[in-house]
Structure formats: structure tokens, C-alpha cells
A and B are shown apart, each in its own frame.
Chain A
Amino acid sequence: GDSVTQKQGQVTLSEDDFLFINCTYSTTTYPTLLWYVQYLGQGPQLLLKVTTANNKGISRGFEATYDKGTTSFHLQKASVQESDSAVYFCALVEGGNNRIFFGDGTQLVVKP
């Protein structure tokens, strides 16, 4: 079945550091790939999505490229801020399905 893997449980950075959060996926369909962000005490909210392979999604300084060759969708940001501290979920929607598969989440802690 479909799955999403995030290897990093937590990432700790200082302000202005470069962010890289690992995400790989497994599917037999043509999925839409997404990143959700969950701030403390809130529900997850969509950060960015990419529906087509080899395309890049960009939002609020974050970017992720749908790489079909390596089945990856890593999240990057050039310079993080303390306000970016949150849990980031990589997710996949199967083509033609109504179900979203979430990765286990990566908690980002940004120190001032």
C-alpha cells in the first residue's frame, strides 16, 4: 500500500539556518504530494502541494520538489525563523482516491 516516510523525528536549528526535512514515498498511483504544518495547539494546515512529477511547490519561503526518480519530496527553506517552529507532515493523496497518507511528522525547533 501507499506510505510516506519521514526519517527525522526532530530537527533543531538556529535562526537563519538552512532547513532540510527528509521525505520519501511509496505508491503505485500518480499521487499528489503535500506538506502540512501544525503549530502548537492547532490542527495541521496545508503548506504546499505538488500534483505533477518534477514540479516544485513554493510557499512562504518553503519549497519542495516532487522527484519521481528518487520518490522524494524533501522540504527546504533557505533561512528559518523562530516562528517556523512546528511539526511538519509530508503527505500523499492517491490518484483518484479520497484518502491522505501522512508521514510520522518532523518537529522543527528553531532557537533564537
Chain B
Amino acid sequence: GPKVLQIPSHQIIDMGQMVTLNCDPVSNHLYFYWYKQILGQQMEFLVNFYNGKVMEKSKLFKDQFSVERPDGSYFTLKIQPTALEDSAVYFCASSSPQGPNTGQLYFGEGSKLTVL
């Protein structure tokens, strides 16, 4: 089936450094999402993105977070500066134009971020 690729799979950085998580969504998809998962359970919505713009973001999407998809390349989540509480697995997801209303999101395998 359709694949969403995430790079890196695991990143360890020191608190205060910047990190960029990359997502290669399904090729014809137009909606993109980032979710944060802690302790292998709760999936917390961070942000969704469409047509070059943030559509909606949650309270977890702090000022230190930013997303972009320059020139149709990777959809990225940047955290600058990082904090200890940013340690989590971050999942990227994408959906087709019809997808969001149907709930059909395709998730990547996650990027595990460890902030020391």
C-alpha cells in the first residue's frame, strides 16, 4: 500500500539544539500531519498542513515548532530549541484530498527523538 517515509528513525540530541524531522508523504497526497506519541500510547495531534499553510495546530505545537514543505520536497517538523519534554516518537501522516473527511490517514513508522 501507500508508504510514508520518515527520516531519521531515531535522533539523539542535547537540550537546546535544533532538530529537523523529515517526512516523505504519499506522492499524490495533499494533506499532511504531525502527531506526537509518548510511551507507546497516546497519539497527540500537533498540526495539519495543506496547500503550503498550517490549517490547524494544537496547544502542543509550541512556538519552538515549525513546519514547512519547500518546493514539494520533504514535509518537515523543526524544533528550535529543543526541550527535555520534546522526547517522544513523532509520526507523520498524509491523506488524499478526500482522505481527511474519511479518516484515512497513512502514517510513517515514526521518528524517535531523545533529548538529553
| Partner among A41, A96, A104 whose Cβ is within 8 Å of the Cβ of B109 | A41
> In the bound complex, what is the Cα–Cα distance between A102 and B48 (angstroms)?
15
Q: Determine if B103 and A32 form an interchain contact, defined as CB atoms under 8 angstroms apart.
A: yes
Min Cβ gap A94→B in Å is: 9
Of the candidates A41, A98, A100, A105, the one whose C-beta lies within 8 Å of that of B50 is A98
- Is B102 positioned at the interface, with any CB of A under 8 Å from its CB? yes
B6 (CB) vs chain A CBs: closest residue: A43
A99 contact from B41, B45, B104, Cβ within 8 A? B45
Chain A residues closer than 8 Å to B35, beta-carbon distance:
102
Within 8 A of A (CB), among B11-45: 31, 35, 40-43, 45
B103 in contact with A99 (CB, 8 Å): no
In whole angstroms, how far apart are the Cα atoms of A97 and B109 in the complex?
Answer: 25
Is A101's CB within 8 Å of the partner chain B? Answer: yes
Closest 4 CB pairs of A and B: A43-B107, A98-B100, A102-B43, A105-B41
9 A-B residue pairs with Cβ-Cβ distance under 8 Å, sorted by A, are A32-B102, A43-B91, A44-B91, A49-B104, A51-B102, A91-B103, A96-B101, A97-B100, A107-B41
